[in-house]
Structure 1
Amino acid sequence: MRRIRRFNTRDTYPDQALDNDLCQAVVANDTVYLRGQVGTDFDGNLVGPGDPAAQADQAMVNVAQLLSEAGTDLDHIVKITVYITDPRYREPVYRVIGRWLKGVYPVSTGLVVSGLARAEWLMEIDVIAVLPTGDAGEAPGAGGKP
């Protein structure tokens, strides 16, 4: 098992009394599990305050980066779970995700939730991917950055 971008929640949430050791991604066997990604870059800067589409785009930038660090890419995503804090955000968020995952065909679950860990976060995407094996039966290059 390999852990990517380890951190402690006391640094991520300095306004909360937390002290949990986590990471952004775990590679276990041939599966890559990502931490839920939001509209915050890896330096902690919120991208697109009040804009669910901009936050979704930053979340997908993060997803692509983490998958690359794990040794895979967007083409190898098998499952996504999308959380939105308002049903009106569904279309803008899913349009962005759809551009990033055009031709990938993952299974997907979408949920409307009352809130995320920070009030300014409007969406979050949870991703599971696999490492490439060369025998998946799909042509390479099926998905990628728009």
Structure 2
Amino acid sequence: MNDKTKQITHERIRMFNTKETYPNQSLDNDLCQAVRAENTVYVRGQVGTNFEGNLVGLGDPAAQAEQAMKNVEQLLAEAGSELSHIVKTTTYITDPRYREPVYRVVGKWLKGVFPISTGLVVSGLAQPEWLMEIDVIAVIPEERA
């Protein structure tokens, strides 16, 4: 390997293994919560579970969205970005009736940001108690990168 091959192209933020985070499933995958690649940050789908593994808002899509957005804000900060630098969101809900409560919360957090957005209604998420999930892509302005 030469020096160019060894060059770090991205930073993994909050690495974890699914064996510990999902003990109810027989998985063994190495993942992370976010990746910073040059001036772009990719945030893994966030749900109503805090970083200690506790679900916030059982049965309440708005409360789960609130926690998910807290997670997004924290992960972006750890990557050197912030909510105002989000360029794309993808929101998943498990029931079309959750659209308004979830989008109200997300809209409050992203007021004035104007990202592009995709919303999907899905039959289920990775855990049955999760009612919504959001992933985002953000940038880091040149002066910060």
In structure 2, the partner of 1:108 is 117
Aligned to 2:94: 85
Instruction: Indicate whether 1:60 and 2:69 are aligned.
Output: yes
Unaligned ranges ≥5, structure 1: 135-146
Q: How much has 1:29 moved relative to structure 2? A: 1.2
- Aligned residue pairs total 135
**Which position in structure 1 is the counterpart of 2:38?**
29
1:63-90, Cα deviation, whole Å (9 max, x unpaired): 0000000001000000000000000000
**Deviation for aligned residue 1:5:** 0.3
Structure 1 CA distance, aligned partners of 2:128 and 2:121? 14
Rounded Cα–Cα distance in structure 2 between residues aligned with 1:87 and 1:131: 33
Q: TM-score, normalised by structure 1?
A: 0.91
Q: Normalized against structure 2, the TM-score is what?
A: 0.91
Partner residue of 2:22? Answer: 13
* C-alpha separation in 1, matches of 2:97 and 2:142: 39
Structure 2 gaps, min length 5: 1-9
Q: What is the aligned-residue identity percentage?
A: 76
Residue 126 of structure 1 corresponds to 135
| Larger Rg, first or second structure (1 or 2) | 2
Aligned-residue CA RMSD in angstroms?
1.0
